[in-house]
Chain A
Amino acid sequence: MNTTTHQTTAPAVGDTTRTAPASHGAPTRTVLRRQWPEMLVGLGLIAAPFVLPLAGMSPDLLTRILIWGLFGLGFDLLFGYTGLLSFGQAAFYGVGGFVTAYLLTDGVVSNMLVALLIGTVMAAVTGLLIGYLTLRRTGIYFAMSTLAFGEMFYFLENSSFKAYTGGENGIAGVPSPELSLGFIDIQIGSGWPMYWFVAVIFFIGYLIARRIVRSPFGTVLKAIQGNAKRATALGHSIQSYKLTVFIVAAAYGGLAGGLLGLFQSYMPPDAFALDTSAQLVIQTVMGGAGTLLGPLLGATIWLYLYEGLQQVGNLGPYWKLILGIVFVVLVTVFRRGVAGALVDFARRHRSLPAHIDADASTRVASTLDIVAPLASSRPGAPVLEARGVSKHYGGLKANTDIDFTLREGELHGVIGPNGAGKSTFFAMLAGELPTTTGKVFFRGQEITGIGVTAVCQLGMSKSYQINQLFEQLTVRQNMMIPVLARLRGKYRSDLLHRLHSDKLDEQVNAAIAMVDLTSHADIQVSELSYGEKRRLEIGLALATGANVLLFDEPLAGLGPEERVLVIRLLKSIRDGRSMVIVEHDMDAMFELAERITVLYEGCKLAEGAAEDIRHDPDVQAAYLGGMDDESA
């Protein structure tokens, strides 16, 4: 294993347990430390009725804030963690609310909890439908289409389903909630009893949301927000993750809507209005997205500001104008909101973990699994084959009729002048681009255009020319993304499972050690140097466990020292892996590769052993005047 200039201060090997939180039999103290947000929230909910009335908050105000906070828990999972900005959450709030209110008012269901449950499920089903449609596009399309579908439900409530929803009158006379526990019925009156009822549900909702955030599932959500393209390439079926979290957010919305009807004894039609979706977005952003409690905080600011301004002279009518200005200022300078600013502050004042012994890290590196080669394959058997592959864009022929074979255990170079079609060819090999004609086979199985996720799950991964990392996550969290894809497959709905397992931590540590970033494991990627990022880029591909690796200009942009490091790294991982490298750096290529394929003007010009290629007159001719030397 290579050694860098990192200080190898001596803390003991035992220190690695710090980086690999032992999952079994962890001391109670650690558990307590990890559960502190839950305990704090629980204590806060208990203390609120004794403290906040002193600040002039009524039980009704607190209950209302909690309902918005519950609604926001789901939305924060969607927006704050996954990065999906939906403007249509009112649809689920309304569906949950109206279904619950209708069932109870019309006496279809008498048990309040059952009605709430049905409302929540209906909202989730609505979420499945809208999510299926809107998640086909991302970014602005997603925001616009969710907003439009949200409005559709407003129209449905007001016209098509008027007979059930009361149209613009809403549903009045929702019976006050009654808890039937079989042997005893408890009437939940308004005021504090209602607060306690909603607080318990909020707390359960918060516990579940926290588990989701800290599950493997939640880790993938963060990866999707950070870099959806790479998350896909590392073997995660992100569409399924997005749809699942969309449904979860809808369910939270439905439950909150149901509680609103119970709380007010009235289900208002404007639950469906665009204003409801907008209020949720504004509250979440003001309070701080990606913190779970941000929406609750935002709701407190919103409702408190509203009530407060009504009492200040003649400011009442302008409260929304003031709110709009505050919102624009917050988005412009304090994008992470109030809670986000607090979290950032806390993070900045946390001490960095101690450095780790390099020897220990070398030992863990050897424990990284690779997907075992198929039993039938033997050294020299073809692993990756392109047969007559072409790619045409209209009249432009990027690649024409290329045959290519990578054999088991081989390191195969692809070179060519700029514009020779190397990147296009590579993208087709990796399953990123469909071919115009021709087929690509992986261990005999056709993989032409099946997509990067499937290709990755088969055991082939690519490292990109331009770094594709999760910049806002730490090195360790980055490495978890490919390892999770290998351990869990392309999708698993383990929303409530623990993230850490011995297997995961061991593999992640090994992968980090392989690219010699152990001492930087808990540093956020955006703070790494370019060379370190480059090694992480390669490390992500390695950590997928793929034993066929495609490297797109791994040395691009590296200084001489880092270049040596990366070449050494590439040599060190050869054992048991087959690799294709596209590279401009000829010296490195002749040093590394056994066979070289030369592309020229979209066609294969030559192929053979490195030494033959070096002396091939055609290749020399092709490069004369055509090649610009990019070796840094």
Chain B
Amino acid sequence: MSLFFSQLFNGLATGLLLALISTGLTIIYGTLGVINFAHGALFVVGGYAGYTVYSLTDSFILAIAGGSAVALAVGLVMERGLMRQYYSRPPEDQILVTFGISIILVEIVRGLYGGISYSVTPPDWGQGIARIGSLIYPLYRLETLGIAAATLLLLYFVLYRTSLGLIVRAGIEDAQMVNALGINVKRTFLLVFGIGAMAAGFAGVINSPIVALTPDMGFRYLVDSFVVVVIGGVGSFPGAIIGGIIAGEILSLTSMVNPQYSEVMLFVAMALVLVLRPQGLMGQEGRE
């Protein structure tokens, strides 16, 4: 029984992290209508940048700030340099160009750090184990759960309780109209793209003490976050969170039964959603 609870908990931790990665993807899609195939690469960029800051300063907090900042900067350059001229092009082109950018980013990381993997030790405040009742759990895992939950809450607050959030959500409905009302949509788009990229970088740093860094790891997280948003509904913030938790629990609970099938079950869940509710659990009908 305690194994079950431990796995349930594990699933929640994995799930919130997946949710955090997926929110970046879904916010960008919801506002700009672009699916960013470079999202996994930004996750990797954040992770490696965080690693460098961490090894230079020995401060994990600075590492988080540094990793997020670098991902934010890359996101801003990407939007300004290329994505802006892609908003009016067909979705296939947007997918292709972001995919091309992801190759460039990953190869730059490979060039700078080499192909070997780096394992990151958890910060001082994250070492050791925690006891919750009869449950024994790595402390850092517990803390990531808290960090991810807090960040999601913060993002929720920004999106639903601030005027920026109002503009973003209005932009999702009708960007042209928002523009006509005298709001600089271009700048909002830039900001949103930056925030989405930063969320990926942030998650990349948080995740680095749990899974060792390799240049190619981003694709796995990209695929997982695709599954999350397809389950939750692309462009829906609550959908990303619910989808993330569902995905995390599936991975965690099925690995109790047979680890060989845990990843596969994730895709089975996605197939079920596609059959029963193609727009995703929280998705709106008619949005493509």
Chain A residues within 8 Å of B, Cβ to Cβ: 79, 83, 85, 133-134, 136-141, 143-145, 147-149, 151-152, 155-156, 159-160, 274, 278, 281-282, 285, 317-318, 320-321, 323-325, 327-328, 331-332, 335
CA distance A396 to B18 in the complex (A): 39
Interchain nearest-CB distance for B31 vs A (Å): 14
Give the CA-CA distance A151 to B267 in the complex, in Å: 9
A324 and B264 within 8 A (CB): no
B275 to chain A, nearest CB (A): 7
User: In the complex, how many angstroms separate the beta carbon of A522 from the nearest chain B beta carbon?
Assistant: 26
Residue on B nearest A146 in the bound complex, by CB? B226
Contact A133 B275 (CB under 8 A): yes
Q: List 16 A-B contacts (CB under 8 A).
A: A136-B275, A136-B278, A144-B226, A145-B230, A145-B270, A145-B274, A148-B226, A159-B263, A160-B264, A274-B223, A281-B99, A317-B111, A327-B96, A328-B101, A331-B93, A331-B97
Q: Quick check: A143 and B35 within 8 Å, CB to CB? A: yes
Nearest Cβ distance between residue B23 and chain A, in whole angstroms?
A: 16
Q: Which B residues touch A139, using CB under 8 A?
A: 91-92, 288
**Set of chain A residues within 8 Å of B95, measured between Cβ atoms:** 85, 140, 143
List the A residue with the shortest CB-CB distance to B92.
A85
B111 near A318 with CB under 8 A, answer yes
Q: How large is the interface on B (under 10, 10 to 19, 20 to 34, 35 or more residues)?
A: 35 or more
| Extra contacts besides A133-B271, A318-B107, A332-B82 (12): CB < 8 Å | A85-B92, A139-B91, A139-B288, A140-B91, A140-B288, A141-B288, A143-B95, A321-B103, A323-B103, A325-B104, A331-B96, A331-B100
Q: How far is the CA of A137 from the CA of B82 in the complex (A)?
A: 27
A-B pairs, top 6 by smallest CB distance, nearest first, are A324-B103, A321-B107, A152-B267, A328-B100, A159-B260, A324-B104
Q: Which residues of B contact A151 (CB under 8 A)?
A: 223, 267
Which of B92, B267, B271, B275 interacts with A83 by CB under 8 Å?
B92
A84, closest chain B residue (CB): B92
Q: Flag if A148 contacts B227 (CB, 8 Å).
A: yes
Number of inter-chain CB pairs below 8 Å = 112
Option from A134, A156, A328 in Cβ contact (under 8 Å) with B82: A328
Instruction: Kindly identify which residue among B35, B271, B288 contacts A138, using a CB–CB cutoff of 8 Å.
Output: B288
In whole Å, how far is B267's beta carbon from the nearest beta carbon of chain A?
4
Question: Is A320 a contact partner of B103 (Cβ separation < 8 A)?
Answer: yes
Does B229 interact with chain A (Cβ within 8 Å)? yes
Contact flags (1/0) for B74-95 with A, using CB distance below 8 Å? 0000000010010000011101
B140 interfacial by beta-carbon distance below 8 Å: no
> Which residues of chain B have C-beta atoms less than 8 A from A145's C-beta?
226, 230, 270, 274
Q: Tell me the bound Cα distance from A148 to B267 in angstroms.
A: 7
Given A141-B288, A274-B223, check contact A327 B264 (CB 8 Å).
Answer: no
Q: Which residues of B contact A79 (CB under 8 A)?
A: 92
Secondary structure of the A side of the interface? Answer: helix
Q: Which of B202-231 contact A (CB under 8 A)?
A: 219, 223, 226-227, 229-230
List residues 107-140 of chain B with CB under 8 A from any CB of chain A: 107-108, 110-111
Q: Chain A residues near B48 (CB, 8 Å)? A: none
When the two chains form their complex, are residues A141 and B103 in contact, meaning their CB atoms are under 8 A apart?
no
**Pick the contact of B278 from A85, A137, A331, A332 — CB < 8 Å?**
A137
Question: Which residues does chain A contribute within 8 Å of B108, judged by CB atoms?
Answer: 321
| Least distance between B280 CB and chain A CB atoms (Å) | 9
- Partner among A144, A147, A148, A327 whose Cβ is within 8 Å of the Cβ of B100: A327
Q: Are A328 and B97 in contact (CB under 8 A)?
A: yes
CB distance from B219 to the nearest CB of A (A): 6
Complex Cα spacing A324 to B102, Å: 8
Report the Cα distance A457→B32, complex, angstroms: 38
* Closest residue on chain B to residue A328 by CB atoms: B100
**CA A386 – CA B35 in complex, angstroms?**
42
A335 & B278 in contact (Cβ 8 Å cutoff): no
State the main secondary structure of chain B at its contact with A. Answer: helix
| Structural contact, B91 and A136, CB atoms closer than 8 A | no
Query: Across the interface, which residues of A come within 8 angstroms of B278, CB to CB?
Result: 136-137, 141
Is B107 touching A324 in the complex (CB atoms < 8 A)?
Answer: yes
Would you call A144 and B230 a contact (CB within 8 A)? yes
Residue contact A321 to B100, C-beta cutoff 8 Å: no
* Interchain CA distance A332-B274 in the complex, whole Å: 32
A321-B111, A331-B93 known; A140 vs B29 contact (CB < 8 Å): yes
CB distance from A146 to the nearest CB of B (A): 10
| C-alpha gap A83/B107 in the complex (Å) | 29
Which residues from B are CB-within-8-Å of A281?
A: 96, 99
Query: Which residue from chain A places its CB closest to the CB of B274 in the assembled complex?
Result: A133
CB distance from A473 to the nearest CB of B (A): 16
Please indicate the chain A residues that have their CB under 8 angstroms from the CB of B229 in the complex: 144
A331 to B97, CA, bound (A): 6
Q: What is the distance, in angstroms, from B22's C-beta to the closest C-beta of chain A?
A: 11
Knowing A138-B288, A323-B103, say if A149 contacts B267 (CB, 8 Å): yes
Nearest B residue to A130 via CB reads B271
What is the CA–CA distance of A133 and B278 in the complex, to the nearest angstrom? Answer: 9
Closest residue on chain A to residue B97 by CB atoms: A331
- List B contacts of A85 (CB < 8 A): 92, 95-96
Tell whether B160 is near chain A: CB-to-CB under 8 Å: no
Contact of B107 among A138, A285, A320 (CB under 8 A): A320
**Which residues of B sit under 8 angstroms from A335, Cβ to Cβ?**
93
Cross-chain contact B263 with A321 (CB below 8 angstroms): no
Cβ distance B191 to chain A, nearest Cβ, rounded Å: 22
Q: Are B99 and A140 in contact (CB under 8 A)?
A: no
A141 surroundings in chain B (CB, below 8 A): 230, 234, 278, 288
Contact A274 B219, CB 8 Å, known A136-B275, A141-B288: yes
Measured CA separation A141–B25 after assembly (Å): 13
Is B4 engaged at the interface, CB distance under 8 Å to the other chain? no
CA of A148 to CA of B104, assembled, Å: 22
Residues of chain B lying within 8 A (CB to CB) of residue A152: 263-264, 267
In whole angstroms, what is the CA distance A511 to B255 when docked? 63
Question: At the interface, yes or no: B261 with Cβ under 8 Å from chain A?
Answer: yes
- In the bound complex, what is the Cα–Cα distance between A143 and B104 (angstroms)? 20
Q: Which residues of A contact B223 (CB under 8 A)?
A: 147-148, 151, 274
Shortest Cβ distance from A330 into chain B, in angstroms?
Answer: 8
Contact of A327 with B35 in the complex, beta carbons under 8 Å:
no
Interface residues of B in 231-277 (CB under 8 A from A): 234, 260-261, 263-264, 267, 270-271, 274-275
Bound CA–CA A79/B91 (angstroms): 13
Given contacts A144-B226, A274-B223, contact A155 B264 (CB under 8 A): yes
Contact B35 A156 (CB under 8 A): no
**Chain A: which residue is nearest B270 at the CB level?**
A148
Residues of chain B within 8 A of A144, CB atoms compared: 35, 226, 229-230, 234
B157 to nearest A CB, angstroms?
Answer: 27
Bound Cα distance from A143 to B230, whole angstroms: 11
Q: How far is the CA of A143 from the CA of B260 in the complex (A)?
A: 26
When distances are taken between beta carbons in the complex, the residues of chain A under 8 Å from B267 are 148-149, 151-152, 155
